[in-house]
Amino acid sequence: MRMYVIVPVAVVLIAGLLFLLDRALKAVQKGRRRRDLAARMAPALAYAEEQAKRRKRAKEASSALTSVLPAIQEPERGPRRVA
């Protein structure tokens, strides 16, 4: 009788261990992929941040210039009339 209980319990334990091993290997692989992606994305992120800083400085310079030299505005005109 004992043998009939031990065999299924052993099969269930082995299946559980194989499942846990599969999950662990997938987690390691996912971590490795994320680490590699982060290493590849770091230069792109630095470049994007530099571009954002340049755009911000250009916008500030443009607004400073506009406050000193306001844009030339055309005189107010009425609606166009087509004959």
* CA torsion angle 67 73 76 79 (round to 10): -120
- Whole-prediction pTM value? 0.51
The C-alpha angle with vertex 27 and arms to 23 and 30, in degrees rounded to 5, equals 135
Q: How long, in residues, is the chain? A: 83
Q: Under DSSP, is residue 78 helix (H, G, I), strand (E, B) or coil?
A: coil
* pLDDT tens-digit map of 21-34: 999 999 999 999 99
pLDDT digits (tens, 9 = 90+) for 20-72: 999 999 999 999 999 999 999 999 999 999 999 999 998 888 776 666 555 55
* Residue 69 DSSP one-character state: S
